[in-house]
Structure 1
Amino acid sequence: MTKSDKIRYFGSQNYEKLQKICVKKKQPFVDTLFPPTNQSLFLEQGRSSDIVWKRPAELHPDPHLFVEGASPNDVTQVIPNADDQEWSPKHAYAGIFRFRFWRFGKWVEVVIDDLLPTRDGKLLFARSKTPNEFWSALLEKAFAKLYGCYENLVGGHLSDALQDVSGGVAETLHDPTDNDLKLFNDLKTAFDKGALIVAAIAARTKEEIEESLDCGLVKGHAYAVSAVCTIDVSNPTQRSLTSYLLGSKQKQNLIRLQNPWGEKEWNGAWSDDSSEWQNVSDSQLSAMGVERGNSDNNDGDFWMPWESFVQYFTDISLCQLFNTSVFSFTKSYDEQIVFSEWTTNGKKSGAPDDRAGGCLNFQATFCNNPQYIFDIPSPNCSVMFALTQNDPSEGLKKREPFVTIGMHVMKVENNRQYRVHQAMHPIATSDYASGRSVYLHLQSLPRGRYLLVPTTFAPKEQALFMLRIYSDEHIHFSPLTKHAPKLGLFGCKSAHSVTRLTIHGVNFNSQSTGTHHVYAILKDSNKSFRTKSLSGVKSIEWEEEFLFHKSKDRQQYKLEIWEDRKMARDHLMAQSVIIALIDNENRDTTLELTDPRGTIIGTVSITVSAFDDPMYL
């Protein structure tokens, strides 16, 4: 978090002010907004329990935020000034702690007291494997306050929690397949880049939560992924005869997980005491941090084979953290952030100001949604879109359901500057989910202009949303708000028509020899537009489109074919004239290309789509 990031104080509670009051009065803080009563535990107000709220010093004579495992550096954003909040003779104890969570583009500071729910002298919920370490229990209490009560944490989305603590781009993968090596490689790449990864076995009912399986894993429990690797296994009995004779080694994909409670572990293949470790070299064990013959079955850390991991775990939540610093020795990304909303503006569905058109299933209203154009500068450009809706239930016990959201991307004309009124050229569609966030990752797109449409699933659903764009090259990204241009010298005329010209490609005559490196320039009376440069011997295919709004029923355009000479001045090879009549048709045509001397050297194939409604395309 940078100094420029604004902090929002949950419940208008200011940590510094409250701490000073408590120190002055010599009384530990008791949070009246989230009191140590059943009100903060359960959804039902009158529910009884035998739970006792105790402060850490009542549970251990030497309490600390951190003892082992996590450190203040690991949670800098979530626990601000962690050293100053630590139990220490240097700081006056006030029984007050603060945590920060990322919410809708801002960090929200949540203040809590340190009264924790216990039963029989033991913490009831989250706890560290070290009995005098309390950061996890306090963090959980801050989460519970943010979500209204502890009970609301049950059945929550892991991806939301990861996003809350990091501000990253989070997604959840459900039911991975048994032999999905692509997923393994993707997770390894993400982990190596610093992504946060958590896995869980879904509990179908509340009764299944914390149910232990015979393999040692626990349902409804979040396991942090702490390593992803591939090792060589040298035992010939585990290899095929061919690989043994050739001297090759068998590869084993492994994943290491951590149970923060440190009580139960995986007991199958590659667990702490399994025989498989005898087949691994000492050098590999050292690199993995494994000590041969020195395992602790209850430390919460364990390895398991990838095939077993995908067999048991049903949900994998991954949160990517994008480096956006321009002063970095590692790969950095360009970040752009947009805030907007789906709204009907009090209008009926389909009205010009309606911005809640639903997904592509509702073609009559789909194009009413917010629209954003972006340009891909090169085929190597990778773009990640993260769509997040605002949580209207922050701090409330009663959770309002999220609307179902998603995104759609289409290819549009190279020069489009006005809203799309008919869906065209689909490129990609994200999953639609009734959660806080969805994401869409685009790679290897051809150079050109594209349109992103964030949508709710159904029309007329209203919500605030935030759109984050991460790209490894800077891309032009902007909203489309106007339907058509105003024409004339002073912008006082309305466009009467819209024309789309599609340049498919050129074919050169048989006399033409050698490889041509060419591009096309399309000109109207005001502007000119260029295609990309392509190479070919007898033919070139562009498949590029351009859009024009005009006030006349008969339009003329000039098409020029240029040779791209790279190191010398480009050469005009040929040209043709395109006549567009506003006839509300799509017309394919082939035109002759003549060189500057008037000789026909080939043809160009185009499609003219001209309509008398400027808001038709």
Structure 2
Amino acid sequence: MPYTPSGFFCDRLIRERERRDGEGSLSKPLRFSGQDFAALKQECLTKKCLFEDDTFPASVESLGYKELGHKSNKVKNIVWKRPKEICENPQFIVGGASRTDICQGDLGDCWLLAAIACLTLNEKLLYRVVPQEQSFSEGYGGIFHFQFWRYGDWVDVVIDDRIPTFNSQLVFTKSAERNEFWSALLEKAYAKLHGSYEALKGGNTTEAMEDFTGGVTEFYEMKEAPKELYKIMKKALERGSMMGCSIDSLVPARFETRTVTGLVKGHAYSVTAVEECKQSQHKEPKVRLVRLRNPWGQVEWNGPWSDNSKEWVSLSKGEKDKLQHQSAEDGEFWMAFEDFKKNYTKIEICNLTPDALEDDKIHKWTVSVNEGRWVRGCSAGGCRNYPDTFWTNPQYRLRLLEEDDDPEDNEVACSFVIALMQKNRRKERKLGANLFTIGFAIYEVPKEMHGNKQHMQKDFFLFNSSKARCKSYINLREVTQRFRLSPGEYVIIPSTYEPHQEGEFILRVFSEKRNTSEEIENRIEADHPVPAPANAGEESEEDQQFLSIFQQIAGDVSTGRPVSAWGSEMEITANELKNVLNSIVSKHKDLNTEGFSLESCRSMISLMDMDGTGRLSLQEFRHLWNKIKQWQGIFQHYNSDQAGSINSYEMRNAVNDAGFRLNNQLYDIITMRYANEGMNIDFDSFISCLVRLEAMFRAFQAFDQDGDGTIRLSVLEWLQLTMYA
């Protein structure tokens, strides 16, 4: 169900307040589906019953919606069982969680399992996702919980321990130890987070890596990888980063099939180590090696530096011990860095946030996180190919403050990674939602504009080319890229490829040194020019015609006193005001309007009614009329095609010309409140919007006695203000 303007923004304000109160942090994760693990577990123990999760039941709906849906033969023989029904003496973790605990089942989620394998390399990260002190013995209530990073917040996901089985064997992820269940339960919790097991089919290791860590991922095609890839991988591991890689399968029929070298195409692997070793009595004294893991728990590389290859003879016992070399069919193997580059197609590196890194010796990234939203007709401007709307996209000012410690080619520059992530698309897949094609561009801010936090206007982008941009717009959950730019000030523009596509996103910036990034939000303020009263001799023909109509209508309800000047004390009601205005406006054929509505006229009276009578005197109306004429001129300027309306993107400039400085959230509200289905705003709606803005600014300033930009209202004052405005 779509949000109403008030519903969406109230909800957004509540979420922002929760974050200020610590909700969504590592220490205080959000409760997914509103479930409190501790309370639910205690209830089960008190009642001496096993937990059954009605938000993710043991049913077909939790399995899937298509290939694992009601019409699929695959689900007919699946039985949901608890671990105690599957084996004797089930354990949550046996002898510590390790990479061999993750073996793929009948679900195409090797991308997820490769990420879990990487997770086991860092106990702090692992036990943040997989809380310890969970077991099938002491305090067992059939309930478990896991924690994931989800679009800027940490969430706690509660599940029961009923798992899909076939012939008492786990259908999906399992451990090499038959009585160990942490990896199967983790997979179930992740499936619940996304709506079903089937929702996990197909993906990139980066996605799960980020959901386990809150990190940001770099993605490299091996054939286009930078020359310093080994250095990037080495530094990434030193920062505790997680890495995955894969080999593209060009022929669908050969998806996830073994090659003669033992590697599997279309399959996700974990990179678990990168080392440089000394070789004795060898023409190449040093060799660079990469250690990888196949999440199947078997099927390994059989080329140079494989488990039993002759190359190991060239290493001393000390070097072998450093590499923890062993010969075992466990899915883990070493290979030369050059062979790694030749055989694998792409690599994904998940860089961790500082809160994920415990060791002070590890070099930590600086991270900036910004949440945003593309709103159709307002801030969903599309890419640079659409210059009329591109500038309306959300804008983020980036300040690079310190250069790298180890500059390349003596170049003074700052290294950083930008990651643009669209939200909720996997979960909504069963509803037909597809990923948007997204990307971003970076523009250098001229020195004379440094520190100016105003939204960059259309002309800036017409006359300035981007300093850098993502390699391509692509329909992935996240688009990331590494850059090196000189210290300075830049503006980042995230966008969908096509305009008018509505969705939420997160923009994150990781840099090796200090940076700041923030959304460019115009300062909210208003100019209130009061039109000077006109002398009788200065009255235009239209003014005189208007005065005549006003006298005629006002005279019908007055005491009959003659009217000869603008200062008359005669007053008119909202309905009479409607007649006066529409008599004049109807003569402006270029406005193509049906006239002002009664509701609009009531708003006008509330704006100009200084004495609280609910009517307008002639003097009050003259001020209103001068404002309307001023706003009419602005409207006609943007109504250049004489269509009788202005589009919602032009509305931003029109509002600015009328003297109002607003931010993106307010422009979003205006679009949703006043634009029609075609994202156009007619003259009546335009005037109504400006009247409301003028009235609310004026009311706020009346309450803001000390001018500090905040006011305090009682319920009565709030209702009086909003009901009459």
Q: TM-score range by the shorter chain?
A: 0.5 to 0.7
Name the amino acid aligned to 2:398.
F
Q: Is the contact between residue 219 and residue 481 of structure 2 (CA under 8 Å) also seen in structure 1?
A: no
The Cα of 1:167 is off from its aligned counterpart by 0.6
CA–CA separation in structure 2 for the residues paired with 1:188 and 1:330: 12
In structure 1, what is the equivalent of residue 79 of structure 2? Answer: 52
Name the amino acid aligned to 2:259.
L
| Helix, strand or coil at the partner of 2:228 | helix
Task: Give the counterpart of 1:462 among 502, 509, 527.
Answer: 502
In structure 2, what is the equivalent of residue 193 of structure 1? Answer: 239
* Residues 432-480 of structure 1: per-residue CA shift (max 9 Å, x gap): 222222224332x334322111111111112112222334444453433
The Cα of 1:390 is off from its aligned counterpart by 1.7
CA–CA separation in structure 1 for the residues paired with 2:337 and 2:514: 37
Task: Give the counterpart of 1:114 among 161, 166, 170.
Answer: 161
The Cα of 1:232 is off from its aligned counterpart by 2.9
Q: Is the contact between residue 238 and residue 363 of structure 2 (CA under 8 Å) also seen in structure 1?
A: no
CA–CA separation in structure 1 for the residues paired with 2:269 and 2:315: 25
The Cα of 1:235 is off from its aligned counterpart by 4.9
1:317 aligns with 2:368: no
Compared with structure 1, are the counterparts of its residues 446 and 259 closer, same or farther at alpha carbon in structure 2 (3 Å cutoff)? Answer: closer
Q: Is the contact between residue 218 and residue 481 of structure 2 (CA under 8 Å) also seen in structure 1?
A: no
1:357 aligns with 2:403: no
In structure 2, what is the equivalent of residue 516 of structure 1? Answer: none
Name the amino acid aligned to 2:146.
F
In structure 2, what is the equivalent of residue 340 of structure 1? Answer: 372
Compared with structure 1, are the counterparts of its residues 307 and 24 closer, same or farther at alpha carbon in structure 2 (3 Å cutoff)? Answer: same
The Cα of 1:134 is off from its aligned counterpart by 1.6
In structure 2, what is the equivalent of residue 233 of structure 1? Answer: 279
In structure 1, what is the equivalent of residue 606 of structure 2? Answer: none
Name the amino acid aligned to 1:386.
A
The Cα of 1:171 is off from its aligned counterpart by 3.3
The Cα of 1:6 is off from its aligned counterpart by 4.4
Task: Give the counterpart of 2:288 among 253, 268, 280.
Answer: 253
| Helix, strand or coil at the partner of 1:373 | strand
| Helix, strand or coil at the partner of 1:76 | helix
The Cα of 1:300 is off from its aligned counterpart by 2.5
Name the amino acid aligned to 1:50.
N
Q: Is the contact between residue 127 and residue 137 of structure 1 (CA under 8 Å) also seen in structure 2?
A: yes
**Paired residues for 1:216-615 under 5 Å:** 216-236=262-282, 239=283, 249-291=284-326, 295-296=327-328, 298-323=329-354, 328=360, 330-344=362-376, 347=377, 354-380=378-404, 381-392=414-425, 394=427, 397-398=430-431, 400-416=433-449, 417=452, 418=454, 419-421=456-458, 422-423=460-461, 424-431=464-471, 432-443=473-484, 445-482=485-522
In structure 2, what is the equivalent of residue 77 of structure 1? Answer: 128
Q: Is the contact between residue 223 and residue 345 of structure 2 (CA under 8 Å) also seen in structure 1?
A: no
Q: Is the contact between residue 128 and residue 261 of structure 1 (CA under 8 Å) also seen in structure 2?
A: no
Moved more, 383-392 or 155-164: 383-392
Compared with structure 1, are the counterparts of its residues 476 and 457 closer, same or farther at alpha carbon in structure 2 (3 Å cutoff)? Answer: same
In structure 2, what is the equivalent of residue 213 of structure 1? Answer: 259
Q: Is the contact between residue 405 and residue 438 of structure 1 (CA under 8 Å) also seen in structure 2?
A: yes
CA–CA separation in structure 2 for the residues paired with 1:312 and 1:41: 35
| Helix, strand or coil at the partner of 1:341 | strand
The Cα of 1:339 is off from its aligned counterpart by 1.8
Q: Is the contact between residue 233 and residue 279 of structure 1 (CA under 8 Å) also seen in structure 2?
A: yes
Compared with structure 1, are the counterparts of its residues 209 and 117 closer, same or farther at alpha carbon in structure 2 (3 Å cutoff)? Answer: farther
Larger Rg: 2
In structure 1, what is the equivalent of residue 135 of structure 2? Answer: 86
CA–CA separation in structure 1 for the residues paired with 2:28 and 2:172: 32
Name the amino acid aligned to 1:92.
G
Moved more, 320-329 or 452-461: 320-329
TM (norm. structure 1) is: 0.68
TM (norm. structure 2) is: 0.58
Moved more, 319-328 or 56-65: 319-328
Task: Give the counterpart of 2:195 among 143, 148, 153.
Answer: 148
CA–CA separation in structure 1 for the residues paired with 2:182 and 2:520: 46
The Cα of 1:4 is off from its aligned counterpart by 6.7
Compared with structure 1, are the counterparts of its residues 303 and 189 closer, same or farther at alpha carbon in structure 2 (3 Å cutoff)? Answer: same
Task: Give the counterpart of 1:40 among 33, 58, 62.
Answer: 62
Name the amino acid aligned to 2:314.
N
The Cα of 1:429 is off from its aligned counterpart by 0.3
Q: Is the contact between residue 125 and residue 213 of structure 2 (CA under 8 Å) also seen in structure 1?
A: no
Q: Is the contact between residue 370 and residue 519 of structure 2 (CA under 8 Å) also seen in structure 1?
A: no
CA–CA separation in structure 1 for the residues paired with 2:224 and 2:151: 35
Q: Give the superposed CA RMSD.
A: 3.2
Q: Is the contact between residue 370 and residue 518 of structure 2 (CA under 8 Å) also seen in structure 1?
A: no
Name the amino acid aligned to 2:77.
D
Compared with structure 1, are the counterparts of its residues 447 and 146 closer, same or farther at alpha carbon in structure 2 (3 Å cutoff)? Answer: closer
The Cα of 1:275 is off from its aligned counterpart by 1.4
State the identity as a percent: 34
Compared with structure 1, are the counterparts of its residues 484 and 9 closer, same or farther at alpha carbon in structure 2 (3 Å cutoff)? Answer: closer
Name the amino acid aligned to 2:500.
K
Name the amino acid aligned to 1:342.
W
CA–CA separation in structure 2 for the residues paired with 1:371 and 1:285: 52
Compared with structure 1, are the counterparts of its residues 108 and 266 closer, same or farther at alpha carbon in structure 2 (3 Å cutoff)? Answer: same
Structure 1 stretches lacking a partner, 5+ long: 240-248, 348-353, 494-550, 552-617
Compared with structure 1, are the counterparts of its residues 29 and 437 closer, same or farther at alpha carbon in structure 2 (3 Å cutoff)? Answer: same
* Residues 317-373 of structure 1: per-residue CA shift (max 9 Å, x gap): 2110032699945434443322221113xx4xxxxxx32221122233221211222
| Helix, strand or coil at the partner of 1:391 | coil
The Cα of 1:303 is off from its aligned counterpart by 1.1
The Cα of 1:178 is off from its aligned counterpart by 9.4
Structure 2 stretches lacking a partner, 5+ long: 1-21, 99-119, 405-413, 532-656, 658-725
CA–CA separation in structure 2 for the residues paired with 1:15 and 1:195: 30
The Cα of 1:5 is off from its aligned counterpart by 5.4
Compared with structure 1, are the counterparts of its residues 304 and 60 closer, same or farther at alpha carbon in structure 2 (3 Å cutoff)? Answer: farther
Moved more, 388-397 or 103-112: 388-397
Q: Is the contact between residue 158 and residue 189 of structure 2 (CA under 8 Å) also seen in structure 1?
A: yes
Moved more, 451-460 or 160-169: 451-460
* Residues 497-529 of structure 1: per-residue CA shift (max 9 Å, x gap): xxxxxxxxxxxxxxxxxxxxxxxxxxxxxxxxx
Moved more, 37-46 or 201-210: 201-210
| Helix, strand or coil at the partner of 2:447 | coil
CA–CA separation in structure 2 for the residues paired with 1:310 and 1:492: 70
- The aligned length equals 463
Task: Give the counterpart of 1:7 among 14, 23, 29.
Answer: 29
